[in-house]
């Protein structure tokens, strides 16, 4: 055994050779390269790499080429902490962590305790920021409650939905976040009523009992707010439609993508908020151009909108570094916090000293009709969701 340890010890020394060299600008990715989260982290990371390549081609950042170091979290929290330490020891100036708050937090906490900026690839919980990890942590995506609130208000204003049903999958914080936003918005919509609510679990083999409750209502609700995510979402949607419930289904961004639609043939009356369209019909032609670039780089189209936040992340961080003239944490954080409706490819982004996240955002509304998804509208909630409501 001692022999083995000696070999292992020798190999770690190789790994941590580079240390604290200030002539370089290094982006450290402590993300999942294997395991469950890999499917979610990789597309966003690929998008981030595209932005890094663009910046490097245009002459780099502060005149230096951006370098990249990686460490695999293996979709494991304890490994996440190690991955964070690894990229920090390799000289990272910013630590990019997993898409999901729960899996990204351990690495983000190592960055926070080393006084470095951490950026969640696409976490949508308010805790992926000041309120959870700490004052140097940011997320590149939009808060989940904004999605629920957007869908509720949009369905009310544009689709005359008045009776709502709330179906929550209690599996993750993300799901609860969507429904929290819905709960925040609903009382603000005059004569809109909640006709019922229920919960299920993502892994439930059958949600027959929940469906029976909906069918027991005197009248089918206008809209069902479905707060869930993959993989359970497909199952829930399929079972809802199989039971003959034809209400409008409102969702969070987690169900974006056409890859799963074959499971529910001819799905209609189904609405999803997205930051950018992967279907080639984004009102902004540059998004479609990005999609082509992504395909060129990775060999496939983006499969969901969660590809985009990775690009936004490098974009806003690089701008802040450029403005601050340094990669030093406090200066970059200060510049990021000055961003107010900063234009990006996927809508304006705002960071404040109170919130490192978007509590209001422009969303495209994708409608799936007869199994074909496409952008039908654009919606921004009338006012940002107050931080106090996000924290409850």
Q: By CB under 8 A, what part of segment 304-323 binds other proteins?
A: 304
**Alpha-carbon torsion (262, 263, 264, 265), positive or negative:** positive
Q: Which is nearer to other proteins, 147 or 235 (CB)?
A: 235
The CA distance from 367 to 158, in Å, is 13
Q: Which is nearer to other proteins, 173 or 335 (CB)?
A: 173
Long-range contacts of 132-136 (CB under 8 A, 24+ apart): 132/101, 132/105, 133/105, 133/108, 133/109, 134/109, 135/333, 136/111, 136/112, 136/329, 136/333
The CA distance from 64 to 327, in Å, is 11
- Is 3 a residue that touches other proteins (CB under 8 A)? yes
Place of tokens 């209690």: 170
**Subset of residues 344 to 363 that bind other proteins, contact rule: CB under 8 A:** none
Which x/- pattern, by CB under 8 A, does the window 182-201 give for other proteins?
Answer: ---------------xxx-x
Q: Select from 235, 277, 344, 359 the one that contacts other proteins (CB under 8 A).
A: 235
Q: Which stretch binds other proteins (CB under 8 A): 153-161, 164-172, 182-190, 358-366?
A: 164-172
Q: Select from 22, 203, 286, 354 the one that contacts other proteins (CB under 8 A).
A: 203
- Is 280 a residue that touches other proteins (CB under 8 A)? no
Q: Select from 24, 159, 213, 362 the one that contacts other proteins (CB under 8 A).
A: 213
**Subset of residues 70 to 99 that bind other proteins, contact rule: CB under 8 A:** 71-72, 74-75, 77-78, 80-83, 85-86, 88-89
Nearest 5°: the CA angle 121, 124, 125 is 120
Q: Which is nearer to other proteins, 39 or 375 (CB)?
A: 39
Least Å from the CB of residue 102 to other proteins = 5
Least Å from the CB of residue 43 to other proteins = 9
Which residues are CB-neighbours of 62 under 8 A, at least 6 positions away?
Answer: 25, 321, 322, 325, 326, 327
DSSP line for 182-235: HHHHGGGSTT-EEEEEEEE-TT-S--HHHHHHHHTSSS--SEEEEE--TTHHHH
Place of tokens 């209609």: 268
- Is 215 a residue that touches other proteins (CB under 8 A)? yes
- Is 228 a residue that touches other proteins (CB under 8 A)? no
Place of tokens 């080429």: 65
Q: Which is nearer to other proteins, 121 or 320 (CB)?
A: 121
Least Å from the CB of residue 240 to other proteins = 10
**Subset of residues 5 to 64 that bind other proteins, contact rule: CB under 8 A:** 5, 8-9, 11-16, 33-40
The CA distance from 261 to 366, in Å, is 13
Which x/- pattern, by CB under 8 A, does the window 100-139 give for other proteins?
Answer: -xx--xx--xx--x-----------x-x---xxx------
């Amino acid at each position: 055994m001692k022999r083995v340890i000696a070999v292992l010890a020798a190999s770690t020394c190789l790994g941590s050779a580079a240390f604290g060299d200030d002539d370089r600008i290094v982006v450290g990715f402590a993300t999942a390269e294997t395991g469950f989260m890999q499917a979610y982290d990789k597309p966003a990371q690929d998008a981030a790499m595209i932005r890094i390549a663009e910046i490097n081609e245009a002459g780099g950042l502060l005149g230096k080429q951006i370098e990249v170091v990686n460490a695999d979290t293996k979709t494991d929290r304890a490994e996440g902490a190690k991955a964070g330490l690894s990229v920090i020891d390799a000289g990272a100036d910013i630590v990019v962590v997993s898409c999901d708050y729960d899996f990204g937090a351990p690495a983000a906490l190592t960055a926070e305790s080393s006084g470095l900026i951490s950026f969640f690839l696409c976490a949508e919980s308010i805790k992926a920021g000041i309120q959870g990890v700490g004052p140097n942590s940011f997320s590149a995506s939009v808060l989940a409650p904004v999605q629920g609130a957007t869908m509720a208000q949009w369905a009310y204003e544009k689709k005359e939905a008045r009776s709502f049903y709330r179906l929550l999958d209690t599996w993750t914080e993300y799901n609860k976040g969507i429904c929290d936003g819905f709960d925040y918005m609903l009382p603000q919509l005059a004569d809109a009523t909640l006709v019922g609510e229920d919960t299920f679990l993502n892994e439930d083999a059958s949600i027959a009992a929940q469906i029976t409750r909906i069918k027991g209502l005197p009248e089918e609700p206008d809209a069902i707010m479905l707060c869930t995510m993959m993989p359970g979402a497909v199952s829930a949607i399929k079972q809802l439609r199989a039971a003959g419930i034809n209400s409008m289904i409102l969702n969070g961004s987690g169900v974006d993508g056409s890859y799963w639609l074959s499971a529910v043939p001819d799905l209609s009356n189904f609405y999803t908020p997205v930051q950018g369209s992967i279907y080639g019909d984004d009102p902004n032609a540059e998004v479609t151009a990005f999609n082509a670039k992504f395909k060129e780089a990775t060999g496939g189209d983006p499969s969901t909108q969660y590809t985009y936040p990775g690009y936004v992340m490098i974009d806003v961080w690089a701008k802040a570094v450029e403005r601050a003239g340094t990669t030093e944490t406090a200066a970059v954080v200060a510049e990021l916090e000055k961003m107010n409706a900063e234009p990006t490819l996927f809508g304006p982004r705002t960071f404040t000293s109170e919130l490192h996240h978007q509590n209001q955002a422009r969303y495209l509304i994708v409608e799936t009709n007869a199994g074909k998804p496409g952008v039908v509208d654009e919606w921004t909630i009338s006012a940002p969701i107050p931080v106090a409501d996000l924290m409850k």
